[in-house]
Amino acid sequence: MERIELSPDDLSLIKEAEKIINQHYLEDWHHIAVACRGKSGKVYVSVNMDTYVGSMAVCAEPIAMGQAVLEGDVPFTTIVAVRKPRPSQDDQNMKVVSPCGKCREMIADYAPFSEVILNEEGELFKTPIQNILPYKYMSNKSKTERHK
């Protein structure tokens, strides 16, 4: 997999996500934050939204991406998710986490040439979304100019 070294802007994006989850962490409700950089350079942030009915929970990625879409700031260029540990966990360091499969699909739909910041055994790097979602399903809808 292609590993691209993080730029100062990428490190700043991680800090934005960490800042948001520190401000809005609520055990069992909000433990993931996302920062997404739009094509303009503006950063969109969000937290996940857990629910009592698990199937209704929403990941943080679609919320941040939706903000970029609303402002016409797509395709976005880079996205990162961070997880804040529960207070009962021994390791209280926040960690960059990979997007789930559904979020990978959505990232690839709305920004097929974007890069995702990942963490592999403590090594942070970014990679094109295609590297973590090979052989993506594409329909005729994917061929429109909407999100290019």
Catalytic center residues: 61
CA 15 to each of CA 27, 59, 111: distance values in angstroms, whole numbers, following the listed order? 20, 19, 22
Q: What is the DSSP secondary-structure string of the chain? A: ---BPPPHHHHHHHHHHHHHHHHH-BTTTB-EEEEEE-TTS-EEEEE-B--SSGGG-B-HHHHHHHHHHHTT--S--EEEEEEPPPTTSS----EEEPPPHHHHHHHHHH-TT-EEEEEETTEEEEEEHHHHSTT----GGGGSSTT-
Instruction: State the Cα–Cα distance between residues 148 and 140, nearest whole angstrom.
Output: 14
